[in-house]
Amino acid sequence: MMKHEDALKRLKNVEGHVRGIQRMIEEDKYCIDVIHQVHAVQSALNKISSMILDDHLNTCLISAVRGENPDERERVLREVTEIFEAATKV
């Protein structure tokens, strides 16, 4: 439960940060400063994604691996592989 609260708090912070970037663009701020802020948002989103993945690995994945259903094990492992592949694409 605490992890969900932390993720939601972080997402709300990111939301505010994105609004700040919008204002920077509206106010025609220096491009490099805007890019720095965009990178900060991307980093924050990566942290949230990492937290959610960690929770998934320690709950859903472990349950599937310990379970009796081989199809479920394969499905969950395939999901992790797919998310890893998506995350490593540029």
Q: Identify the burial level of 8 via C-beta atoms within 10 angstroms of its C-beta, where 0-12 means exposed, 13-18 middle and 19 or more buried.
A: exposed
What CATH number should be reported for the domain holding residue 78?
Answer: 1.20.58.1000
C-alpha to C-alpha distance for 35 and 56, rounded to whole angstroms: 31
pLDDT at 1 over 60: no
Which pLDDT does position 90 carry in this prediction? 61
C-alpha to C-alpha distance for 35 and 21, rounded to whole angstroms: 9
Q: How many structural domains does the chain have? A: 1
pLDDT (average), residues 37-61: 95
Residue with tokens 């479920």: 72
pLDDT (average), residues 30-43: 98
Structural domain containing residue 9: 2-88
Which pLDDT does position 3 carry in this prediction? 83
